[in-house]
Structure 1
Amino acid sequence: MSDADPTPVDALREAAADGVDFDGLTVARDADGFRFAVPDARYDGLSASELADAVDRHRPHVENWLFWHQHAPQRQAEWAFLRWVERADDLSVPERDARLRDADGITREWGQVAVTARAAEGGRRRYELRHVDDADADRSALTVHADPHEARRLRKTDDDGDYRPLSTAPTLPHGWVFVDLDPAAAVRAVDGLYPATVANWHREREGTLDVTHWHEAVSRQTGIYGVVETWDRGDGHDHVNWVAEACCDDSQCLKRREWEYDDETPLDVDGGDRRSPGSRPEADDNRTQSGDGGTGVFPCREPCSLVIAAARKWTRLEAEQSRTYEFDLTPSEKEQVEAIIDAVADGRAGEIRDADTGDDANRYRARYLRAKLFDDAGNLCGVPTDADE
């Protein structure tokens, strides 16, 4: 605590004039002196020195009040998020104080990020962020960061160094840790990894999340993206279902899709895990169980730029006229083509071992199929794409 900071007693004495009522602590001043109460004790008519004694006896309650009103960010979304991190709605002040002072602290998952809160001097909090898969890794094995602005750089690429066009894709890189962050810096780092998620999460909790549905979103598109609006005609609802299935599944994005075709027309595909933070039962320990606050913790309020860009490409492809092609395939070859498409769509192709020739999407199996079925011009079963070839 710096010299400029008031002591807990001084801060409480000053606040008592207007009254304090927070997390079970109530303090007021009247003609008889100070009134001080916590859930398991009450004192009336205290002098200034007796108030100091009561503060010492119940310091966790007082330091908790002081932290949240003088040291924590006062912007509502950030304040609510940090209280969610340490389970302020679920744990009493003494329970939180004990867990925060434990070496493990209190950890909750925000997408693929484990956010850990621990107690510091005077009841303040310090925070640590790391990938959930690195939760048990020794800090010495990770790249240590102290500047929250580094989070924006980290989110740009995956473990292979490939660009991540979607910040909420489940491909956050591993091997890093942000340490000793103050409350404001912790929120900045989270926002750097997952932009706007804290703000939208809070708006949803407050009932003020403004959702822009597909119809409204595409009606605003201009220039090269204006072509997407053609999907609002005819069987456009089916097209948007396919877009959402391709882009908005839990395996592709950690957000929970709240936008639909329009305000009155829901899509037929699932929008992701819709359970709210804290809705899953957890073991009674200092660690959040896997899944709580993970997939679906933050909402998606409108079709993102990646969805619109992909839809533009699909719009042009869907504009082609259908043709009938005839191929001769064995039943196993048909199933193999289906398996190859599934493997590529699910991102499994790179995980299939060359030696695993039992997998239909195995590289050598695919090369054999190509050698057998493609002609010298690369046409499947010798059938050209254009009928006049």
Structure 2
Amino acid sequence: MNIGIFVLALATFVAGTVELVIAGIINMIAEDLHVSVGAVGQLVSVFSLVFAFGAPVLIALTSKVEKRKLLLIAMLTFLGGNILSIVSPNFTTLLIARIILAASCSIVVVTSVTMAAKTVATELRGRAIGLIFMGLSASLVLGVPLGTIIGQNFGWRMTFVLVAVLSIVSMLGIIKFLPKVPPQPAIPLRKQIATLKSKKIASIQLISVLELTGHFIVYTYFTLFLKTTMDLSTNMISMVLLVFGIAGITGGWIGGWASDKFGGAKTILTFLILFAVSLFLLPYATGSMISLLIVVVLYGAMVWALSPAVQNYLAESAPDSSDIQLGLNTSFLHLGVALGSGFGGLLVDYYSVTINTWVAGIMVVLALISAIYSLTINRRGNSSIQGL
């Protein structure tokens, strides 16, 4: 794997940190800005909605820009969004900062995934995409727990100082290690959307929406869950998030490897079952730290193993429009993040936080049904897909 793939993984690591770190400092922001925890959770929803719907538009508008230059412009805008977050005097300003961050992150992540898929041999594609998603899961290992500790000891604004520093490091890596990449022809939005007329492709994309909805119904409010059910200290919560992130990094690699070896469809079906089981077990695992960590490891590994598997399955199922599908999938992933964070916020405002785990598990079961449906379409159509 060439060093450029690792630079792209670093960029997605930084993007993932700013998106997900809210989960670790949600209570601090709510208290400081005098809003509810559910309201702060909407910062994740707004970020993800802007990402989901803005990514196709922004990628189309910037299609004529040389790719390394585009990444640098996006990272510079990202830095500006972090600075605005640091100085935000109120919730509205922080909300505006999140919109700026989401728009820039959408370009960073979509461009990184597309470049990773195109710069390696076909047989390594799943692992290359998996490495990019390992960058996102690594943000859980380092970004979220470290951001939580920094927020607890120095204030939540210092968490965004950390992200700003990381964005500068990422820009230096892009300049030094990424070659210039010529722009690709623009793909009209109408053509991108038209590819979703295929029931098979639509059902595969729906897997990402549903499983990420389930994940973020729980994860955005995971700090609240751990405080409520186990009365854990901030340091212990950071440790649990660290374990979750380490499992996620491992899962990202496992998902890429398994989809290359066994095919995307089989990998997705297996991992969705294990993911659903972990969510249903989570409320019962709070009796001891050992049982909690066992379930958290399974949960973290499965959720991050699914993304490279789904993207590889898309590339297998739609080879003629793989670029479009990989780009759209990042939007669908973030639509799931937005729906999960928003729905989860409504649940915690009116019900016990343990309800979130049950609703999340149901969402993942729906994702499993969508995966099975995509497989039956393949069999009815008598088409051959790698790994089936």
Instruction: Pick the TM interval, shorter chain.
Output: under 0.3
TM-score, normalising length: structure 1: 0.25
Higher strand share: 1
TM-score, normalising length: structure 2: 0.25
Select the structure of larger CA radius of gyration: 1
Higher helix share: 2
